[in-house]
Amino acid sequence: EPEVTQTPSHQVTQMGQEVILRCVPISNHLYFYWYRQILGQKVEFLVSFYNNEISEKSEIFDDQFSVERPDGSNFTLKIRSTKLEDSAMYFCASNIQTQETQYFGPGTRLLVL
Amino acid sequence: KNQVEQSPQSLIILEGKNCTLQCNYTVSPFSNLRWYKQDTGRGPVSLTIMTFSENTKSNGRYTATLDADTKQSSLHITASQLSDSASYICVVSANFGNEKLTFGTGTRLTIIP
């Protein structure tokens, strides 16, 4: 069964460093999303992406964040200058059509020191 | 502000027993409601998705109900198994065209033998 994959599974970085989290959505899906989950808290929407552009973003998704689909398979989240409070699990998700089930990846656990 | 509230926060039941988890939401305009299962350290996995015109949907031992008038949903698990131990998250989608999910904080369910 097709699944969303994410790399790396864990990332440790120093405050102020740039990180890129990578996702490979399910191949025939057209809508892509990033979410984060701070330890012990609920999942929070960051951004949605369709047709090579951002379609919706939350107030969390400030200028430090960017997303890109550099080729036909990868979908990346870049955090330009990490802060301690960026430490969280980051989930990528995709679906074939908006309002349909979103399929989540296993997540990347980011720790900012 | 769109919100999703769940109860109880945590629940412990014996293997083989049934349980019901509750969800109340204030999301407008409402598009659909989903229940996800999230194992610790993993991405959420979809169980059910219901539009406003559906008031019940089953997936194996999981049965979700929706009352769009009172803005309440429940997830009933029958004949619980040890593998049902997880967080169960109620997620509501607002119909803004571009999908933006609002997540509940989840109910942490523990099944004991």
Pairwise CA distance, residues B92 & B73, whole Å: 10
> Which residue, among B34, B6, B17, has the nearest Cα to B82 in the 3D structure?
B17
- A residues 34-93 lying closer than 8 A (beta carbon) to B: 41-45, 48, 50, 55-56, 58, 89, 91, 93
| Residues A14-67: tens digit of each pLDDT | 999 999 999 999 999 999 999 999 998 999 999 999 989 999 899 999 999 999
The three-class DSSP label of residue B96 is coil
Pairwise CA distance, residues A84 & B92, whole Å: 29
Q: What is the mean pLDDT of each run of 10 residues along chain B (113 residues)?
A: 93 97 92 93 92 92 95 97 97 78 95 96
| Residues B94-113: tens digit of each pLDDT | 866 667 789 999 999 999 99
Within 13 Å, how many C-alpha atoms sit on residue B18's CB side? 8
Does A101 touch chain B if contact means CB atoms closer than 8 Å? yes
Min Cα distance A50 → chain B (Å) is 9
Phi, psi of A80 (to 5 degrees): -70, -50
Min Cα distance B42 → chain A (Å) is 5
| Residues A53-89: tens digit of each pLDDT | 999 899 999 999 999 998 878 999 999 999 999 999 9
